[in-house]
């Protein structure tokens, strides 16, 4: 996986802008141009945005995003899908900060504006789940790599449940634990995942009792 991400970064190195697609509150899709930032721990891809942007509300409702990269010179493209997590971690912001951010966050009366301590700065980290690309010398798109999404979501939910259980039991949360919980899907989606993970075991338990119960009912009915 790390090698795949490294190769993905090589492929998009000379493409400054990605079209990030999110889902609006009315379920329509919305795309906008976003500059990919340099690599840093905590996410596979990083972007910077403003605190007052509506995309943060959209990501809270549904964290799934698509990132489309296009090489105009060769007509090649790369499509990346994953889970986006906003963060306001000041240490990560300082690590990723670039001078050209001042053009997007101009001076508006606060001496922190345009600096790494600008309170308007919010990072969006994307955990990549799949990437597909088209090369001009190949007849069809190539699946660069793709994780089984159901397995990824189930693993995330189970790990989060273990963290929450340990916290209830008195174990303090680490920074990594908090980051794992921050990457959870929205509440309705999470509830569906938890209920879905319990359905099979519950069905098995129910099945163990159904046959004996039906036999008992038949016996009692016959004796009556």
191, two tokens: 């509830």
The conformational region for residue 170 under phi > 0 = left, psi -120 to 50 = alpha, else beta, is left
Alpha carbon distance 160, 183 (integer Å): 10
127 and 156 housed in the same domain: no
Final residue in a domain of this structure, among 147, 177, 209: 147
pLDDT score at 150: 45
Angle between helices 149-168 and 175-182 (to 10 degrees): 130
162, two tokens: 């273990």
pLDDT score at 92: 95
Per residue in 134-150, pLDDT (tens digit) is 876 666 666 655 554 44
pLDDT score at 166: 76
Final residue in a domain of this structure, among 147, 162, 194: 147
160 and 101 housed in the same domain: no
Per residue in 161-207, pLDDT (tens digit) is 677 777 777 788 776 666 666 665 554 445 454 445 445 554 554 55
Alpha carbon distance 13, 59 (integer Å): 25
126 and 194 housed in the same domain: no
Contact 115, 80 (CB under 8 A): no
Query: Structurally, how many domains does the chain consist of?
Result: 2
pLDDT score at 75: 84
112 and 130 housed in the same domain: yes
Bridge partner residues of 69 (DSSP): 78
142 and 169 housed in the same domain: no
143 and 175 housed in the same domain: no
> What is this structure's pTM?
0.65
- Can you point out the beta strands (E) in the chain? 17-23, 29-35, 45-50, 64-71, 76-87, 121-134, 142-146
162 and 95 housed in the same domain: no
Place of tokens 């010398």: 137
165, two tokens: 């259980």
From residue 105, how far is each of 92, 110, 149, 206 by CA, in Å? 17, 11, 36, 59
122 and 175 housed in the same domain: no
67 and 162 housed in the same domain: no
pLDDT score at 106: 86
Q: What is the CATH number of the domain that holds 34?
A: 2.30.110.10
18, two tokens: 């990605």
Instruction: Kindly report each contact of residues 139-147 with a partner whose C-beta sits within 8 Å and lies 24 or more positions away, as own/partner.
Output: 141/79, 144/4, 144/7, 144/8, 144/11, 144/78, 145/1, 145/4, 147/1
Which residues of the chain have a pLDDT value below 70? 1-2, 136-161, 175-224
* Host domain of residue 188: 148-224
């Amino acid at each position: 996986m790390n090698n795949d991400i490294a190769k993905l970064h090589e492929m998009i190195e000379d493409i400054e802008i990605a079209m990030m697609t999110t889902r609006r509150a009315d379920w329509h899709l919305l795309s906008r141009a976003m500059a990919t930032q340099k690599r840093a721990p905590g996410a596979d891809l990083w972007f910077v945005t403003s605190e007052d942007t509506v995309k943060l509300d959209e990501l809270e409702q549904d964290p799934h995003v698509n990132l489309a990269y296009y090489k105009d010179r060769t007509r090649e493209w790369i499509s990346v899908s994953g889970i986006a997590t906003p963060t306001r971690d000041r240490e990560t912001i300082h690590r990723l900060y670039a001078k050209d951010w001042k053009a997007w966050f101009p001076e508006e009366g606060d001496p922190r504006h345009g600096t790494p301590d600008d309170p308007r700065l919010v990072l969006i980290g994307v955990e990549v789940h799949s990437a597909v690309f088209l090369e001009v010398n190949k007849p069809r798109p190539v699946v660069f790599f793709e994780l089984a999404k159901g397995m990824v979501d189930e693993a995330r939910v189970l790990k989060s449940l273990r963290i929450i259980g340990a916290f209830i039991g008195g174990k303090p949360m680490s920074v990594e634990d908090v980051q794992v919980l921050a990457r959870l899907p929205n509440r309705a989606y999470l509830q569906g995942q938890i209920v879905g993970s319990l359905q099979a075991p519950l069905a098995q338990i129910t099945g163990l009792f159904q046959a004996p119960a039906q036999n008992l009912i038949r016996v009692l009915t016959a004796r009556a």
